[in-house]
Amino acid sequence: DVQLQESGPDLVKPSQSLSLTCTVTGYSITSGYSWHWIRQFPGNKLEWMGYIHYSGSTNYNPSLKSRISITRDTSKNQFFLQLNSVTTEDTATYYCARKGTTVVAHFDYWGQGTTLTVSS
């Protein structure tokens, strides 16, 4: 079965960068699908952040475009989120998720989420 697992720090200071890892088991991230980061703010608003396609191409939410980078390590079947210059507004639970590559495809597998607090 496909499983996604987020990992990373619990706490980051303002102005620093955050780095999160999504480890995928049960499916190769180079075989198909797009691999996404989605976050949920306190108060429960969900925001899509970006994805890395199985081909390696990326696409980001324009609201984050200057601060975000999604990369991968195919040997470890992991993909990563880096968000620069964080503020307290980046405090959220971060999820990684898988989505089919067609226009109508849906997010079918999600990780359990990792909660990140930005605070000095």
Partner 1 sequence: QIVLTQSPAIMSASPGEKVTITCSASSSVSYMHWFQQKPGTSPKLWIYSTSNLASGVPARFSGSGSGTSYSLTISRMEAEDAATYYCQQRSSYPPIFTFGSGTKLEIK
DSSP sequence for 21-39: EEEEESS-TTTSSEEEEEE
Smallest distance from partner 1 to CB 119, Å? 22
Question: Which residues, including other chains, have CB under 8 Å from residue 83's CB and lie 6 or more apart?
Answer: 17, 18, 49, 64, 67, 68, 90
The single residue among 1, 10, 31, 45 that binds partner 1, judged by CB under 8 A, is: 45
How far is the C-alpha of 120 from the C-alpha of 32, rounded, in Å? 40
- Does 46 help bind partner 1 (rule: CB under 8 A)? yes
**Within positions 14 to 33, which residues make up the interface with partner 1, using CB under 8 A?**
none
Residue 10 Ramachandran class (φ > 0 left, ψ -120 to 50 alpha, else beta): alpha
Q: Which is nearer to partner 1, 54 or 107 (CB)?
A: 107
Smallest distance from partner 1 to CB 16, Å? 26
Of 28, 107, 115, whose CA–CA distance to 72 is shortest?
A: 28
**Within positions 53 to 112, which residues make up the interface with partner 1, using CB under 8 A?**
59, 61-62, 95, 103-104, 106-108, 110-112
The single residue among 44, 75, 119, 120 that binds partner 1, judged by CB under 8 A, is: 44
Binding site residues, partner 1, CB under 8 A: 36, 38, 44-48, 59, 61-62, 95, 103-104, 106-108, 110-113
